Structure 1
């Protein structure tokens, strides 16, 4: 098969384990990673769009991947939903920067049952991320993993302060406990949507702990790939 899915990456130093949006082995089809210099976690995980210069850098990277043969584009950070429309208008291939863009479809499949969203930063998502994605806050239940030290100390830091190791067991346990608690509080939760591209490694554990379907940016990438190749 020709082509590949382009993955726009934040400029980070922590390990990208299998399942993470920034690891090529997370995908069952060809992908090509493109780091956007200067786009750190602390710059992008915010309640508003990144500065104009960073947005321009993402557009440049997107156009470069398109020129190299990308058939679709995703990213490693769901908070890039803030520039989804601008970036999609800058290229001629399908773009889904954030797993949050899957929400309208999930909402339709769930009837009137709420969707649970796990995010890297609850405060930032409520401050602007949901609005940028066109999501009604009253229709979802949001929980953030910013309180997990193993996650925050590795990922929600400036690049120069990020470690070269990742405690996946601690992060996984935190995510599954958080999701299970959400279901206990709201048994009507229909499914989980992972805003953060670092969370798919724990999707299977969340699924097992809650009995609910779990969706992330990998599903968006698969949708774009299937659209190009059937």
Structure 2
């Protein structure tokens, strides 16, 4: 049995990251900045997937290009794939079914696990790009529809919202 298979141009990028098609700066600490990680990652930009189309429109036409990009990351050797936007939770089931590696579309996937760690009187706090866009469909897509939570949206923080949701090219 081979130790390493050939056929790829790059090796050692175990984690693939699907990014939205953005122009805003990705500072260290952002999942879209490679310096955030102390190991190599591989990015794939999904062209046309603007923050508006993903967050506000929740455009189902984006599913196909996200699946294709995930399959490309898998073919490039990535052994797990994630995204830069939690609203891609809407595509979790379809994307996971389309690749043969673990697929993590959203940190919202952690809500059911975290709930089990809390006392019954505690709730989960969710910070999101826009609280109105975090609707029951998004939560249901990751099994979090019945999880008690409170939401804070960045629409009330114009410095954040204008950069990361309105896609401004400077901070």
Counterpart of 1:108?
116
Counterpart of 1:132?
141
Provide the secondary structure at the position in 2 that maps to 1:59.
Answer: helix
Contact kept in structure 1, 2:25 and 2:169, CA below 8 Å: yes
Match among 84, 91, 107 for residue 99 of structure 2: 91
Distance in 1, matches of 2:57 and 2:30, equals 22
Identify if the C-alpha distance between structure 1 residues 34 and 138 changes in structure 2 by more than 3 Å, giving closer, same or farther: closer
**1:154 to partner: Cα distance:** 1.4
Provide the secondary structure at the position in 2 that maps to 1:12.
Answer: coil
Match among 44, 61, 66 for residue 34 of structure 1: 44
Counterpart of 2:60?
51
Match among 161, 164, 168 for residue 163 of structure 1: 168
Contact kept in structure 1, 2:20 and 2:50, CA below 8 Å: yes
Distance in 1, matches of 2:142 and 2:56, equals 14
Identify if the C-alpha distance between structure 1 residues 150 and 88 changes in structure 2 by more than 3 Å, giving closer, same or farther: same
Distance in 2, matches of 1:41 and 1:79, equals 9
* Counterpart check, 1:145 vs 2:154: yes
TM-score w.r.t. structure 2 length? 0.86
Distance in 2, matches of 1:3 and 1:154, equals 29
Contact kept in structure 1, 2:15 and 2:79, CA below 8 Å: yes
TM-score w.r.t. structure 1 length? 0.65
Q: How does 1:61-72 map to 2 (within 5 A)?
A: 61-72=69-80
Tell me which of the two structures has the higher relative contact order, counting C-alpha pairs closer than 8 angstroms and 6 or more residues apart. 1
Gaps of 5+ in 1: 167-230
Q: Which has the higher helix share?
A: 1
* Counterpart check, 1:82 vs 2:62: no
Identify if the C-alpha distance between structure 1 residues 137 and 144 changes in structure 2 by more than 3 Å, giving closer, same or farther: farther
- Poorly superposed stretches of 4+, deviation over 6 Å: none
**1:155 to partner: Cα distance:** 1.9
* Counterpart check, 1:11 vs 2:12: no
Q: Deviations over 1:181-230 (max 9, x none)?
A: xxxxxxxxxxxxxxxxxxxxxxxxxxxxxxxxxxxxxxxxxxxxxxxxxx
